[in-house]
Amino acid sequence: MGRPRTNPTVAPSAHRHPIPDTDRIAGTIKSLVVDRGFGFISGPGRQQFFFHVSGVEEIPFRNLEEGQAVTFVIVDHPKGPRAERVRVEGPQHP
């Protein structure tokens, strides 16, 4: 059987290493590229974080809107920090 295979180019993510909800950060969706499945979130101190459709929770990606308040966690990624476990705060549009 041996050891499980891992991809050394992929950094640990929130899916494999759970991050407590107490570590969530508030931000706002700055821009979306819906047809490509990603966007950017403005976080504290005007930092911007990339996020992918796979990192969105509780709402379909296509229902996100620029300017929406969100919370998220930051995870290390080979291309730099990114937002995962993105959740919309407040009213959600169906």
pLDDT at 30: 97
What mean pLDDT comes out for the span 65-87? Answer: 94
Sign of CA dihedral 90, 85, 23, 49: negative
Tell me the one-letter amino acid at 55.
Answer: G
pTM, full prediction: 0.73
Instruction: Determine whether domain 26-88 maps to CATH 2.40.50.140.
Output: yes
Mean pLDDT of 28-54: 95
What pLDDT is recorded for position 20?
60
Q: Indicate the average pLDDT of the chain.
A: 81
DSSP class of residue 2 equals: -
pLDDT at 8 exceeding the cut of 60: no
Closest CA to 60 of 28, 88, 80, 39: 88
Angle (nearest 5°) at CA 16 between 14 and 59:
45
Domain boundaries, the chain: 26-88
Higher pLDDT, 41 or 21: 41
